[in-house]
Structure 1
Amino acid sequence: MLKNHPLLLQLKKKFQNKIVTVKKIVKKNIQKFNFFNIEKNKKCQVSSTSIENLLSEGNNITSINIKSNKKVIMPLKLVKTSLKEFVGRIQKKNKKIFIIPEYFFLKESIICECTNDLKNKIQSNDWVLAKLLRYKFKKNKFFVAYIIKIIASKKNPLARWLITLAKYNLDDSAPKVKNYNFIVDSKYNRLDLTKLDFITIDNAFTKDIDDAVYITKNFKNEFVLTIAIADPTSYIPYQSELDTIAKNRGFTNYLPGFNVPMLPKELSENLCSLKPGMCRPALVCMVNISNQGNIIEDSIQFNLAWIKSKEKLIYENVSNWLENIGTWKPQSNVIANQIFLLQSLYKVRRQWRKKHTLIYKEKLEYKFNFSKNGEVIKITGVHRRIAHRIIEESMIIANMCAAGILTKKIGFGIYNVHIGYDILNAAQIICILKRYNILVNIKDICNLTSVIKLNKKLNILNNNYLNNRIRKFQAYSEFSITPKPHFGLGVKYYATWTSPIRKYGDMINHRLLKSIITNTSHLSLKRDVVIKISNCKRKNRMAERDISDWLYISYFKKNVNINDIFKGEIIDIFKAGMRICLINNGANAFVPFYLLNFICSKLVYHKNDGIIYEHNKPLYRVSDIIKVSIIDVKEHEKKIIACPFF
C-alpha cells in the first residue's frame, strides 16, 4: 500500500544517503566501553548489537550511520584481524578443552582443537599458545582456536615470564646450535696485549663479561686509555646460522629476574667472556685524553688483539673502597693504581661533558629482590655509584671514538641517534619557554649547539615542572645507518660497539671496524637491518614493562595494606585522572579524577599545562611530590588505585 508511496521512497533515499560504507582499522578505546577508534583522534560509537563483533583491532568494512550528529558504526564484513595467535589458560569441561585468552578485550572461553598428543598432556590452568581458526562474526556464533604448543604448566614458577615472552613472540632460552665448532677465526694478525694490566668491573654474578680497561699516562701527562671488547664475530661468520639467530634476536633480553641471551652460553659466558687469567680475542680501542678531558682525535687507534684480564672486580667493592666503606681492598698496588687512574679520568671527562655536552640528572633505578620461589620480597631504589660511572664514562669515550672512525672512513654504521625535540611540537615548546623568559626559535630547537645551551639554562633554573613539560616533547632515540647527532647525549655522532655479546648492532659495528683495520671490503647495510633491530628492542621493552607491571601488582597484593601511605611524583595528568610514580619502589599508581572531585569540588584539568585547577588556582601539577594512600589493587587491569592523602 504505502510501500511505493513517492514520499516514503524519497525519505528512504535520504536516509540511505547518510550511510557511508568504508574500510577502516577499528580499534577498541579502553577508556570508553562502546567507543572505538577508526582514525587518529576520531572515534565512533558502536551499536550495542555489534560490540562483540569488534573485540580486537581489525580491518573491517563498516557502515557509518549518522544519528543525531553522532557516528555509529555497523560492522558488515571482517577483512582481517590483528588477533591471530594469542596466549591463554586452559580449562577442561565435559571432556572439552577451552582457552581463556590473556587478552584485555576478549574475556570469554574459546573452544579449542589440538592434536591427540597435546590433548593428553594438557591440564587445566596450563598456559598455551593458540591461533584463531574461526572469528566470531555474523553467522559464526562463537570463536574456535587451535592449540599450537604448551608454554608453561600451572606449577611452573617462571610461568609469567614464559607467557609474556610468548605473547610478544620472543625466545625464552639461549640459542642451541647442534654440531657447531666454535673456532676462533685465525685469518687476522692480532697484537699481543696479554701483559697489560687489564681489569674488568662488573656485577658479582655477571658471567658474560664483554669489556675490560687498561689505563696509563704518557710523557705529556695525558691519559692513555685502552678499551678491550670481547670479539664474538671472530667465532661467528657473517650470514651463518648463528649470525642469523643473533640478528633475529637483536639483543640479550634482560627481564626482571630472568635473562634470555642473544648468543649461546658457550660463547657469551665462556669463550668470549673476558674472564680473569684467560687469553681472549678482542677488538681494542686506544685513545689519549688530555688533563682537560679532550679526546685527542689523532691518537685514536683500533686494533685486533689478544688480551688477558688480570682481575674481575665487583662494582660494589670498588665503590666502597673509593668511598672508604668496608674492609675490601685491591689485591695489589697495580690494580689499585688502575682504579685511581680510571677515577681521575672519570672526573676530568665528567667536567668536560658538563661544559660541552649534556648530562641529565640521574634517576633512581629500581631493583626487584626475589625469593627462591620467584616471588618479589622487596623492591629497592638504588643510585649508580662511582664504579658504575667510571666504566660508563670509559664506554662513552669508546663509542664516540667508534662513531668518529666509522663516519670518517666509510660514512655509515649502526648509529644511536636522537633528534632532540619533536619539530611538530615546536610552537608549544617555544610558548612554554617564553613564559620563563627563554626565547628560542625553530632553528634553535633543531640545532645541537643551541639545544646544549638551552639545556644548560634549564639546569640553572632547576625547575622540575618546566623540565617535565619540555621533556614531554622530546623524541625517542633511534637507530640509523647514516651518521646523525645524538641530542640526548649532546654529541655529534654516537655508535655503540662495546656490547657485542648482547647487541646485534654492536656485532655489525665490529665487522665494519675490522674491515677498516684490515683495509678489506666491508659489508653493505640496508635500512631493513635498522628496522629489525628497532622492532626487537621495542618488543623487549614491552615484555619488560609487562613483567614489571605484573611484579608490582603481585607485590602490592601480598605486601601492601589498603590505606598504606606513600610519597609519589605526579608524572602525568589527563582527563581520567593522574599517574603517580611512588618514590620508594618505582610503582605507577593511578588517581582517578572522580576521587579528586570527591575531595575538592569544581576541578578543571589542563592536559597541555599538566595542571589541575581548583577555582582557577593550581591544585596539582606534574612533578609535584604528594602523599597518596593505596585504596585498591586491580589485578586484571594491572592498576594500583590511589587517593591523595591529607
Structure 2
Amino acid sequence: MAKNKNKARGKVISGKVIKTRGGCGYLTPAEEFGMAGQVYIAGQHMKDAMSGDVATAELLPQPLWAKGPEAFITQVTERAFATVVGTLEITGQSGFLIPISRELKEDIYVPKNRLFGAKNGDKVRVEIKKYPKDGRLAEGAVAEIIARANDPEALVKSVLADNNIIEEFPAEVYKEINSSAWVYDEVNRLDLRNEHIITIDGAHSKDLDDAISLKILENGNYQLGVHIADVSFFVDNNSALDEEALRRGNSIYLINYVVPMLPKILSNNLCSLAENEDKFTLSCIMEIDKEGNVLNSSFSETIIRSSGRLVYDDVSDLIEYNLCNKGLEPHKEMIMEMARLAAVLRRKREGSGSIDFDLDEAEFEIDEKGIPVEVFPSERRTANRLIEEFMLCANKAVAEHFFWMNYPFIYRVHEKPSPEKIVELKSFLRGVGISLPLNEGNLHPTALNKVLDEAEKLGKLSLVNSVMVKAMQKAYYSPQCLGHYGLAFKHYCHFTSPIRRYADLFIHRVIKRSIKEGFSEQEMSSYFNKAALASQVISLTERKALQMERRVEKIMKARFMEQWIGCEAKGTISGVMSFGFFVRLENTVEGLVSVDSLYDDYYILDKNNYRLQGESTGKTYSLGDNVNIVVVGVDAASGEIDFKMA
C-alpha cells in the first residue's frame, strides 16, 4: 500500500522573508496562520528567496527545532525585487552590486558581459536574471547607469531611484503649462500692494510661499496677515499638472537637493513671492488681542508686493542682539512688534498644552564633490520660531473656520499616544527621576510639557525629548477632523505651503470656492471623494519622503565620520539594545557600541530600566549616560558607524 505523504508533512505557512548577510533568514507568518513571532530558516533551506520576498514554507518537526519554530522554504510566491539599485564594485573583469536598500543584505553578481559600460563606483540599477540558489549569489545585468562615481549628487540620485522617484515631469505637464493663458484679473482681488508685507526665509530658499504683515489696530489689538502663494490660480483641479502634484504629494528635500512637487517655473518663479513683484496670494487676516486670542479671521483672494526678502539669521540677530543691517532698517519696527506677538502666541499655545519637541536636527556643509566636510546641529532661532507661530495660528484659524462650514477638507491629524506607549514612557521617566500621572488612556499634553520642563532642570531635555517623540503617534492627513494631540488643537490643517504640499493646495481650492460660488451638490460629492483619496496618497508620500531624508542623512554622516576613524569623542547613550548601545555625539552623529566590544563583562539587557548590566561586576550602561568613545569603523554604503568605549 502506498504511504500517505501528507501525513508526514509539516504545517505549511506563508509570509514575508527577511534574509541575513550570513545567508539564513526569518519568515514572518501571515496573520491567518495564528503564529506569533518569526520562523527561522537555515541557509540551506532558503531555496532562491531574497529579503522582502513572500514565500510558502513547511515547518520542520518540533523535535528538530533548536530554539523556536524552524522551516524550509518550498516556493517563492511573490518577488520583492525585479531590479536593485546600488553601488557597483568591479573585481577583475566582473562586478558586484552593493544594494543601497537596507532590506537587502546580499550582493548581486554582475558578469563582465552584462556590465554594459558601467564602471567601478557607479550607481546603477541591475535587473536580476537569476535568483540566489545553493549558496550562489543572485546574478544580474546593468539596466541603467544612474550616476557616475564622480557625480557629486550620486548618492541622492541613487536613493531617489531606489524609491522609484522620477524627477522629470511628464511632457504632458510642460505642454499644459506652455499652453496656459492665465488671466491676471486684479479687479476681483483685494489689493494689498501698498501694505507693509515681508517674507522671512532661509538664505538659499527659492520657493517662497508665505509672506506676513502686522498692524496695531486703534483698539490696541494686532492685525496679523498671513499671505500664501495662490498656487491654485496656476494649477487647475484635475489637470495633468494637478494629477502629477497629487502623485508626488509633496516636495522632497535631501540635504542640498530638492525634488519639487511642482515644476520649477512655478515653484521658484511664478508662484514664489519674490521681493518687489506683484504676486497673487490667498490671505488669512486675523485680529488678535494682547492675550493671543484670535477674535476673528477672514480669507480673501489678494494681490501683494513684498517689500522685503529677509533672511532668518538677519532677523534673529535683530530680535536677539538688536543688530540691524541696512536691509532690515525699513522693517525694524514691524519686526519687533512681530516678535512680541509671536511670544504672546507661543505662551498661550504652551499654556494650552502644546508640546514643543525641540530636537537637534543636523545640517551639513557639502563641498563641490558632494562630500560632507562638516556636520552640526541646526539652530532654531527666534525668527524661525516667529514664522512657525504665525503659520500655526493661520493653519488653526483656517481649520476651525471650515470645520464649522462642514466643507470637504483635509485635516492634519495627530492622535494621542497609545496606553502601552505611555506605560513604557512612564517606566523610562521613573528611571531618570521624573514622575508622570497615572491616567495612561487620557493623558493631556500639558502633563508631557511639565515633564519636559522638569527634564530641562535636570539637564536631560535632549534625552527625554527623543524618548518622548518615539512614544508619539505618527501625524497624518485625514478628511475627518480628529484633532492634533501634540499641538493641543481641536482643529488643525496645513494651509501655508501649497508650493510644496498637496494638502495645502487642496485647501486653497476649498477656500476660494467658499469665497466665490460655493459647491454644487455634485461638486461637493466630488471634493469629498478627492479629500479621502488625497489624504491617503499624501500621508504615504510624506512618510516615504521622510524615510529618504533620514537615509541620505545617515549615509552622509557616515561619510563624514570616515575621516575620524581612530579619534576619541564625547557622547550620550541614546538607545540601549540587547546587542549594544547607541551613542549620540554633540554633532548629532550616532554610532553603535557593540556588546562584543565590551570585554570586561558579559552584559545583559535590563529592558525596564533602559540599560545594559554586567553579569559579574554589576557595571551599567544606561540611557542618557555621558560616555567617551573611539570611532572604530564606518560602512558608508549602509550608513553604519561603529564605536568602542575609550
TM-score (norm 2): 0.87
1:267 matched to 2:266? The reply is yes
Structure 1 residue 38, shift from structure 2 partner: 1.9
Whether contact under 8 Å (1:629, 1:644) holds in the other structure is: yes
Corresponding letter in the other structure for 2:381: R
Q: 2:564 corresponds to which residue? A: 560
Q: 2:212 corresponds to which residue? A: 213
Structure 1 residue 235, shift from structure 2 partner: 0.7
Structure 1 residue 534, shift from structure 2 partner: 1.7
Q: 1:539 corresponds to which residue? A: 544
The 3 A distance-change label for structure 1 pair 241 and 133 is farther
2:449, 2:429 → 1: CA distance? 11
1:164 matched to 2:159? The reply is yes
Structure 1 residue 565, shift from structure 2 partner: 2.1
Whether contact under 8 Å (1:319, 1:387) holds in the other structure is: yes
1:549, 1:456 → 2: CA distance? 32
Q: 1:419 corresponds to which residue? A: 415
1:158, 1:561 → 2: CA distance? 24
Structure 1 residue 443, shift from structure 2 partner: 3.9
The 3 A distance-change label for structure 1 pair 502 and 112 is farther
Whether contact under 8 Å (1:217, 1:224) holds in the other structure is: yes
Structure 1 residue 455, shift from structure 2 partner: 3.2
Structure 1 residue 277, shift from structure 2 partner: 1.0
Corresponding letter in the other structure for 1:542: Q
Q: 2:575 corresponds to which residue? A: 572
Structure 1 residue 635, shift from structure 2 partner: 3.4
1:109 matched to 2:72? The reply is no
Structure 1 residue 172, shift from structure 2 partner: 3.4
Structure 1 residue 68, shift from structure 2 partner: 3.4
The 3 A distance-change label for structure 1 pair 625 and 526 is same
What root-mean-square deviation, in Å, do the aligned CA atoms of Structure 1 and Structure 2 show? 3.1
Structure 1 residue 631, shift from structure 2 partner: 1.8
Structure 1 residue 507, shift from structure 2 partner: 0.6
The 3 A distance-change label for structure 1 pair 158 and 602 is closer
Structure 1 residue 100, shift from structure 2 partner: 5.5
2:628, 2:92 → 1: CA distance? 52
Q: Give secondary structure in 1 for the equivalent of 2:537.
A: helix
Q: Give secondary structure in 1 for the equivalent of 2:11.
A: strand
Q: 1:288 corresponds to which residue? A: 287
Gap runs ≥5 in structure 2: 30-34
Whether contact under 8 Å (1:444, 1:451) holds in the other structure is: no
1:588 matched to 2:590? The reply is yes
Q: 1:631 corresponds to which residue? A: 632
Q: Give secondary structure in 2 for the equivalent of 1:578.
A: strand
Structure 1 residue 213, shift from structure 2 partner: 0.6
Structure 1 residue 318, shift from structure 2 partner: 1.4
The 3 A distance-change label for structure 1 pair 92 and 616 is closer
Corresponding letter in the other structure for 1:294: N
1:618, 1:491 → 2: CA distance? 45
Q: 1:336 corresponds to which residue? A: 332
The 3 A distance-change label for structure 1 pair 434 and 604 is closer
Q: Percent identity?
A: 24
Q: 1:375 corresponds to which residue? A: 371
Query: For 1:318, which of 315, 320, 324 is the aligned residue?
Result: 315
Whether contact under 8 Å (1:99, 1:111) holds in the other structure is: no
1:497, 1:91 → 2: CA distance? 47
Corresponding letter in the other structure for 1:622: L
| Map 1:216-295 → 2, pairs under 5 A | 216-295=215-294
The 3 A distance-change label for structure 1 pair 347 and 639 is same
2:464, 2:545 → 1: CA distance? 31
1:48 matched to 2:53? The reply is no
Whether contact under 8 Å (2:54, 2:78) holds in the other structure is: yes
Q: Give secondary structure in 2 for the equivalent of 1:367.
A: strand
Structure 1 residue 149, shift from structure 2 partner: 3.1
Whether contact under 8 Å (1:199, 1:311) holds in the other structure is: yes
2:552, 2:112 → 1: CA distance? 27
1:589-608 CA distance string (max 9 Å, x none): 10111223x13x25331224
The 3 A distance-change label for structure 1 pair 384 and 134 is same
Structure 1 residue 499, shift from structure 2 partner: 0.6
Corresponding letter in the other structure for 1:34: C
Query: For 2:518, which of 517, 520, 523 is the aligned residue?
Result: 520
Corresponding letter in the other structure for 1:609: N
Q: For structure 1, which segment, 68-77 or 286-295, has the greater mean C-alpha deviation from structure 2 after superposition?
A: 68-77
Whether contact under 8 Å (1:483, 1:493) holds in the other structure is: yes
Corresponding letter in the other structure for 2:191: D
Q: Give secondary structure in 2 for the equivalent of 1:581.
A: strand
Structure 1 residue 112, shift from structure 2 partner: 9.1
Whether contact under 8 Å (2:86, 2:100) holds in the other structure is: yes
Structure 1 residue 137, shift from structure 2 partner: 5.3
Q: Give secondary structure in 2 for the equivalent of 1:528.
A: helix
TM-score (norm 1): 0.87
Whether contact under 8 Å (2:437, 2:447) holds in the other structure is: no
Q: 1:36 corresponds to which residue? A: 26
Whether contact under 8 Å (1:412, 1:483) holds in the other structure is: no
Whether contact under 8 Å (2:354, 2:486) holds in the other structure is: yes
1:224-262 CA distance string (max 9 Å, x none): 001100011101111111111111111111101211111
1:149, 1:325 → 2: CA distance? 55
1:25 matched to 2:16? The reply is yes
Structure 1 residue 537, shift from structure 2 partner: 1.3
1:26, 1:36 → 2: CA distance? 6
Q: For structure 1, which segment, 128-137 or 220-229, has the greater mean C-alpha deviation from structure 2 after superposition?
A: 128-137
Q: Give secondary structure in 1 for the equivalent of 2:60.
A: strand
2:476, 2:219 → 1: CA distance? 39
Structure 1 residue 367, shift from structure 2 partner: 0.8
1:371, 1:78 → 2: CA distance? 45
Q: Give secondary structure in 2 for the equivalent of 1:613.
A: strand
1:496-537 CA distance string (max 9 Å, x none): 111111111111111111112224215223533222112211
Q: Give secondary structure in 1 for the equivalent of 2:318.
A: helix
Q: 1:78 corresponds to which residue? A: 76
Whether contact under 8 Å (1:88, 1:128) holds in the other structure is: yes
Corresponding letter in the other structure for 2:195: L
Corresponding letter in the other structure for 2:242: D
Whether contact under 8 Å (2:25, 2:43) holds in the other structure is: no
1:453, 1:97 → 2: CA distance? 57
In the comparison of the two structures, how many residue pairs are matched? 618
| Map 1:351-370 → 2, pairs under 5 A | 351-370=347-366
Q: For structure 1, which segment, 508-517 or 407-416, has the greater mean C-alpha deviation from structure 2 after superposition?
A: 407-416
Corresponding letter in the other structure for 1:392: E
The 3 A distance-change label for structure 1 pair 332 and 84 is same
Structure 1 residue 276, shift from structure 2 partner: 1.1
Structure 1 residue 142, shift from structure 2 partner: 7.0
